[in-house]
Amino acid sequence: MTRTILYIEDDPASRRLIERMLKHAGYRVLLAERGLQGIDLARLERPDLILTDINLPDLSGHEIATTLRNDERFQDTPIVALTAQGHAAQDMAMAAGVTGFLTKPIDIEILLTQVKYYLEGGQDEIDSERLFSAQVRYTREVVARLEGRIRELESVNQELLKLDRMKETFIQITAHELRTPLTLVFGYHRLLEDHLTIKTLMDSDEGIKTLIYGMGEAVTRMQNMIEEILIMSRIITKKIDLSLSPTNLGNVMEGAIDYFHDSLSHRKIRIHFDKSIWPRQMQADTDLMRIVMINLLSNAIKYTPDDSDVFTLVSVDGENVRFSVLDTGIGINPDQHKRIFEQFHTVDDAKLHSTSKTTFMGGGLGLGLAMCKGIIEAHGGKIWVESLGRDLETYPGSQFVVVMPLIARRSLPKLT
- Between 100 and 364, name the residue whose CB sits nearer to ligand ADP: 364
Binds ligand ADP (CB under 6 A): choice among 332, 375, 402, 404: 332
Binds ligand ADP (CB under 6 A): choice among 242, 340, 404, 408: 340
148 vs 64: CA distance, rounded Å: 18
345 vs 337: CA distance, rounded Å: 11
The residue number with the shortest CB distance to ligand ADP is 364
Q: Is 364 in the site for ligand ADP (CB under 6 A)?
A: yes
Amino acid at 317: D
Give 251-254's long-range contacts (Cβ < 8 A, gap of 24+). 251/275, 252/286, 252/289, 252/290, 252/293, 253/278, 253/293, 253/312, 253/323
- Between 63 and 327, name the residue whose CB sits nearer to ligand ADP: 327
- Between 199 and 345, name the residue whose CB sits nearer to ligand ADP: 345
Are the beta carbons of 186 and 230 closer than 8 angstroms? no
The mark string for 253-292 relative to ligand ADP (x by CB under 6 A, - otherwise) is ----------------------------------------
Q: Is 361 in the site for ligand ADP (CB under 6 A)?
A: no
Binds ligand ADP (CB under 6 A): choice among 47, 78, 368, 381: 368
Backbone angles phi, psi at 369, to 5 degrees: -70, -35
Q: Is 366 in the site for ligand ADP (CB under 6 A)?
A: yes
Nearest to 171 by CA among 412, 376, 367, 411: 367
Binding segment toward ligand ADP, per CB under 6 A, in 92-100, 172-180, 183-191, 361-369 = 361-369
77 vs 90: CA distance, rounded Å: 19
Binds ligand ADP (CB under 6 A): choice among 82, 285, 398, 402: 398
Backbone angles phi, psi at 165, to 5 degrees: -65, -40
Smallest gap from Cβ 338 to ligand ADP, in A, equals 11
Count of CA atoms in the C-beta half-sphere (13 A) of 292 = 30
Q: Is 90 in the site for ligand ADP (CB under 6 A)?
A: no
Binds ligand ADP (CB under 6 A): choice among 292, 300, 402, 404: 300
- Between 109 and 306, name the residue whose CB sits nearer to ligand ADP: 306
Q: Is 303 in the site for ligand ADP (CB under 6 A)?
A: yes
Q: How far is CA 203 from CA 198, 216, 217, in A?
A: 9, 17, 19
Residue 351 is classified by DSSP as G
Binding site for ligand ADP (CB under 6 A): 295, 299-300, 303, 327, 329-330, 332, 340, 345-347, 363-370, 398
